[in-house]
Structure 1
Amino acid sequence: MGIGRFVYTPILPSMTQDLGMTKSAAGLLASANFAGYLTGALLAATPALRGARRRWLLLGVAVSAVTTGAMALPSSIVTLAALRFAGGMASAFVLIFASAVVLDRLSAVGRPDLAAVHFAGVGTGIAVSAVLVSAVVAWGGGWRALWLASGLVSLLALPAAAALIPDHIETGGAGPSPAAPGSRRLTAFAAAYGLFGFGYVITATFLVAIIRGSPAVRSLEALVWVVVGIAAVPSVALWTAIAEKIGIARAFALACATEAVGVAASVLWLAPAGVFLAAILLGGTIMGITALGLIGGRRLSTGDPRRTLAVMTAAFGLGQIIGPAFGGAVYDATGSFLAPSLTAAAALLTGAILVAGTARTSTF
């Protein structure tokens, strides 16, 4: 999933150059992926979706890998957008069903601390995709070779997941803390999660393009995305450890504020130190905030957590849809990512304030 969702960022500059795409078109392709993500999240929450969670999870992994590799074939924006939409749906299925399976199992055996290992998979995928892109480019591969190689590597996860996830998964244990669906805390948390989706995704989509367009740091293009991936791997363990000390709400707010600094640095400090700071703060918070949002949403839900996880993911997905389209359109109008990036930083700070407000009356 980390490869399928995030490899678009390092491939984007060469892809847009070869196809003559505007930044608006590039943003719309990213938004198509996130529209699929939103659709998948809503579908995963419907009672009509029957069958074992393991089956839907493995199907999502397979579709994500196939649609990633298939991006190498067409040149039509419409076809590319359709593939990204399907890949987005698959990503939502993977995240929701994998999280439901893993978090339930960890709750049943009294090891919620191991959730960090589960969520670190996405960061690992980002790091793998960064190294893969650098290697293929070094061997002279173009953007089509990059998509094909990414799809093939993603496909390796399918037999591993099938072998490691048993057919029958025990559930049980204490279950999530009781809270009425639609409570004020859950509403605020979901809104903040949507603002996070908008706030991170502009930089996550266009960071490599920003660097390529800046002569002072252009030579760091490949390395910066590797740094994002490396920083992402331990981020969940870091932020869940912080949450254990100060509570999920305060940790979520602190992580959003930290990410806002990185997002702002990506356009305000276009020097080596600035872009590496942006990469570390972006990579070091994306999956941490994602994990805190899903873990927190589960604790605020009752019964089957799938619906609450899907609602949280849908809010996140809506923010992601708006972000790239907005960023690309503003760039085409102004020639700069300054305004959209600072708007994104403001959204992250707003989300931090929303969630911090819930922490004043709760240890959550």
Structure 2
Amino acid sequence: MAPSPRSPVALAFGGLFALAAAMGIGRFVYTPILPFMGDALRLPADDAGLIASANFVGYLAGALMGASRSLPGSPRFWFLGGLMTSALTSAAMAMTTALAAFLAIRFLSGIASAFVLVFSTTLILERLAASGRAGLSAFHFAGVGCGIAFSALLVAIVAGISADWRFLWLASAAGTLVFLALAALLVPSEAPAAATQAKNAGAAVPVSPFSSGSRIRLILAYGLFGFGYVITATFVNAIARTTPELQPTEPFVWLTVGLCAAPSIYLWNWIAARLGARKAFALACVLESAGVALTAITLSPGLFLLGAGLLGGTFMGITALGLMEARRETCADGSSAIRQMLAVLTASFGLGQVIGPWFAGQLHHATGSFSAASLAAAASLLVAAALAFR
């Protein structure tokens, strides 16, 4: 029997739990766990970057698969399956110490994260828009920040009882399963009539995501944003641990990112309502560029945490603004066109993320520092701002 219909608020919270699990935990928990893995396994920065890039290659592959119009099954089936895969791959990270296995596991985890983002966003934003409660999308996207804050607290608490890096991954898997259960409860299956309507809407004449300069600029800006944020988002804890002046910030830096990310969607929705989504996107990229640069050049704990706060306070706003703008550009073309545009945008984002950690790892190997890579990331965010503003 299909779950009974839920209110728009329940749907939005179901999306929050889904993104908290797959993105906040499944995708980003690697950042606070990485210093523990690095110490225990003597993992060099270039290998750590490869592991992060493997996750983002999987994310890119998942986004491209999500763009397929012939993919069978409902969005709910795929995003719940993605959540289960995310939990299983987090647990699998505790079962090996081989680099090749880490790469394969994080690749699968990346596919799962992309499926959850693409399919839960398609399903939930469609239902919220149909119910006249599109503003509740902020709850859905706030899930990433809530998941990051949760993962930071989880790692701090579990590490505080002297658990090793393996137990940190197992605890993350358990947290993902809890959020999976909540998402399954709050996001019901589509009613037959709604499913038929969505299918008919998706049968409209296909319109390419590359059919206009506006869409192409958005896709390029989103890819540059992916490159620009991911280096700091991957290595900020490692930077704190390996820089003596910044070591006091390590327990707080990832928590700062999450706490600033969770409510940021409301702020950026408010700004977008006044400036327009494209200008808000550009402004957020400029502020994020400043935050990324701060983490690269400062030795002041206060300024370092400010940089982390600027990263957290902007990256989910940019993510949500890009996805909502993509939906606005394609909403007249049918649900399949919306899903395809969301998937292409996610793929561009994923490509930027694939390059970022590998690039940072190689520069760290050559220079012994993440500063050069972070400054390059800050520059890419300024280019993204220019593309979006135009």
Coarse TM-score class (shorter-chain normalised): over 0.9
Q: Show structure 1 runs of 5+ residues with no match.
A: 358-364
CA offset digits 1:158-204 (Å, max 9, x no partner): 2111111111254879x9xx987421001000000000000000000
Shift of residue 48 of structure 1? 2.7
Match of 2:377 among 344, 347, 358: 344
The reply on whether 1:356 has 2:385 as its aligned counterpart is no
Give how far 1:268 is off.
1.1
Q: Does structure 1 residue 303 correspond to structure 2 residue 369?
A: no
CA offset digits 1:82-114 (Å, max 9, x no partner): 110000000000000010011101110111111
TM-score when scaled to structure 2? 0.89
Identity of aligned residues (%): 52
More displaced stretch, 37-46 vs 215-224: 215-224
Corresponding residue for 1:149? Answer: 171
Where in structure 2 are the equivalents of 1:164-243 lying within 5 Å?
Answer: 164-168=186-190, 170=194, 181-182=209-210, 183-243=212-272
Contact 1:32 1:81 in 2 (8 A): yes
Matched residue SS, 2:234: helix
1:208-256 CA deviation, whole Å, 9 max, x = no partner? 1111111112021011111111011001111111111110000000000
Structure 2: gaps of 5 or more residues: 1-21
Distance 1:61 1:240 in 2: 27
Q: How many residues align?
A: 355
Query: In 2, Cα distance between the equivalents of 1:349 and 1:279?
Result: 18
Matched, 1:85 2:107: yes
Report if the CA contact (8 A) 1:66-1:155 is conserved: no
Residue 212 of structure 1 aligns with an amino acid whose one-letter code is R
Q: CA shift at 1:47, angstroms?
A: 2.1
In the alignment, which of 155, 160, 165 is matched to residue 133 of structure 1?
155
TM-score, length of structure 1 as denominator length: 0.95
For the 8 Å contact 1:179–1:300, the answer to whether it is kept is: no
CA deviations over 1:33-84 (Å, ceiling 9, x no partner): 0000000000011123111111011001110111012111100000011110
RMSD: 1.7
| 2:131 counterpart (99, 105, 109) | 109
Counterpart of 2:140 in structure 1: which amino acid? H
Residue type of the alignment partner of 1:334: T
Q: Distance in 2 between matches of 1:310 and 1:27?
A: 24
| Higher normalized helix content (fraction of residues) | 2
Secondary structure at the residue paired with 2:163?
coil
